[in-house]
Amino acid sequence: MKLKLKTEKASLKLTMKDDDFDFALVTKAYEIVTGKAVKTAKPGVPVQQLKAVINGSNTHKYEPQSTREDDDRIPGWKQPVKVQLMCPYCGRCQDTTTLYGNHWLKCPACGKKVRLQSATSSWGVPDEHGYYYKATEVYRDRDDEKVDDDLLNEMKRKMEGKDDD
């Protein structure tokens, strides 16, 4: 198989035998020439489909593999993970655990709901101390938001009524 990648700034020729086809190598070559990262296809994709992608006549959709390096560290759904709790209601600070995927936890001291947010910039990746979540903000569920929205709408109606007088 012969492959020539060319942009305004770079050009690369790649030749390999069909039986030695290495999609990772082709992907890296493309990334080097274009400077664009590529989501790779699943291993074992037939050569004909890959040639169609290269020639631009692809009609098959690939399921992209994850490109995150930390995939092996992401806990399973509902697995216990470490949380750094700083309750906004009572001020309690402690390390605790919750299940991965939860959106809130109850403070063990006051029983109020505290919102869980990722401890790092990526969900499912622990920080340097092993925390997956930080719990520092008040949790507002849909009922709380509806009450606030209703109150705000009532205040707007009253303000509009005063402006008409």
DSSP summary character for residue 104: E
For residue range 23-58, what is the model confidence (pLDDT) as tens digits? 677 777 777 777 777 665 445 555 555 555 555 554
In which band, very low, low, confident or very high, does the pLDDT at 10 lie, cut at 50, 70 and 90?
confident
Running DSSP on this structure, what letter comes out for residue 66? P
Give residue 47's pLDDT.
52
pLDDT score of 153 more than 60 = yes
pLDDT at position 141: 81
pLDDT at res. 123 = 86
Element (H, E) at 87: none
pLDDT digits (tens, 9 = 90+) for 113-147: 999 999 998 888 899 999 999 999 999 887 777 77
Please state, in angstroms and rounded to a whole number, the distance separating the CA atoms of residues 54 and 51: 5
Above 50 in pLDDT, residue 66?
Answer: no
Task: Please give the residue that has the higher pLDDT: either 150 or 52.
Answer: 150
User: DSSP letters along 147-158, please?
Assistant: HHHHHHHHHHHH
